[in-house]
Amino acid sequence: MQFLFTTEGWCRRMGLAASRRMLARIVVVTAVGLAVSCGSDNPGPTIAVGAGDSMESNLLAQIYAGALARTGARTSVTADLGSRADYLAALDAGTVTVVGEHSGELLTFLNADAQARKPEVTTEVADKSAPVRLSVTEELNRSLPEGLAVSDPADGTDMRARVLLTEAAGKEVRSLGALAPRCGVIQAGVASVPGVLQTAAPVRIAGCDFAGTRPYPDATALRKALLDGEIQAGILTGPPVLTPGATDGLTVLADNDYAVRAENVLAVYRKGLLDDRQIKKLNYVAGELTTDELAEMIRKVREGAAAAEVARTWLDNHAL
């Protein structure tokens, strides 16, 4: 990190000024708050932010590292850690302190039997016998290994898989809930959205078990198969904004009831290694990040921009 002045230089000037008694009382009072830093320039241990193999994972790591650095911490990015299992193992082992994740995918990884689907749940208190429903974040917190915690989820991000139909079929079926009774006779195709965090296979859609699924190499091939009638439904493993043109002439089904579990970006971190100000900084990032902005940043990295520079620009634009 670069500073406008060093702590040593500040302390030397403070000592010289004090010896000459040239500071006004207000300056002396202000200097008391700075005196604690005059003994050392050490900002503390380096906070290592981990990243897996995807562009999104690396980009989130750069955003978190840059944000934490602006609290005065020394940070680094440990990239190319591998799959979700690999970078979570590095987090568990203490090799890294923070990683970026998706709430629903992380919950699925940690607890295959988890039932939560919505990002927020309003518990009905009228029926005392009804089971308590949990949000994805609440159930995720209960499923985290000892010693780990998560930041606030970025509510403006929606990284869920999307289900596609032709426009003609979409006039009859506009939502995943309406599609569910027909899933048993539908052949579906699946295409991955490049650059995003790893998605569990198969994509889980509550109440919808397709008669069969087949993989396609990309979103363009999936679109062609749908339009040609080769399949009756398509599944994109991430937001269509990351695959421009791939949904032209198709209908993206609404999923307001979260048949596909909520997927919001959040940071996972080791407890006890971040102070309150640093945790708040991660939460500030969550409050600003949106799907469209994240997609735009991923596209820039795809086109050759350095992830660290893209992250720095985003942080600057949001005064983080």
Please write the tens of the pLDDT for every residue from 106-159. 999 999 999 999 998 765 545 555 566 899 999 999 999 999 999 999 999 999
Q: What are phi and psi of 67, to 5 degrees?
A: -65, -45
- For the segment 239-254, the average pLDDT, to the nearest whole number, is 95
- For the segment 261-275, the average pLDDT, to the nearest whole number, is 97
Q: How much is the mean pLDDT over the chain?
A: 87
233-245: buried (b, 16+ CB within 10 Å) or exposed (e) per residue?
A: bbbbbbbbbbbee
pLDDT exceeds 80 at position 31: no
Query: Which of 43-47, 208-212, 284-288 is predicted least confidently?
Result: 43-47
Residues 137 and 103 sit within 8 Å (Cβ to Cβ): yes
Looking at residue 203, the DSSP 8-state letter turns out to be P
What is the distance of C-alpha 20 from the center of its chain?
53
What is residue 127's predicted lDDT score, i.e. its pLDDT? Answer: 56
What is residue 129's predicted lDDT score, i.e. its pLDDT? Answer: 58
List the structure tokens of 187: 């052949």
Cis peptide before 202 (omega within 30 of 0): yes
Degrees to nearest 5, angle at CA 77 with 101 and 237: 30
Q: Determine if the pTM surpasses 0.75.
A: yes
In sequence order, the 6+-apart residues with CB closer than 8 A to the CB of 172 are none
pLDDT exceeds 60 at position 253: yes
What is residue 133's predicted lDDT score, i.e. its pLDDT? Answer: 83
The residues pairing with 233 across neighbouring beta strands, listed in sequence order, are 188
In the sheet with 233-236, reading across from the earlier edge strand, the strands are: 212-215, 187-191, 233-236, 162-166, 250-252
76 sits in which H/E element: strand 75-78
pLDDT exceeds 60 at position 292: yes
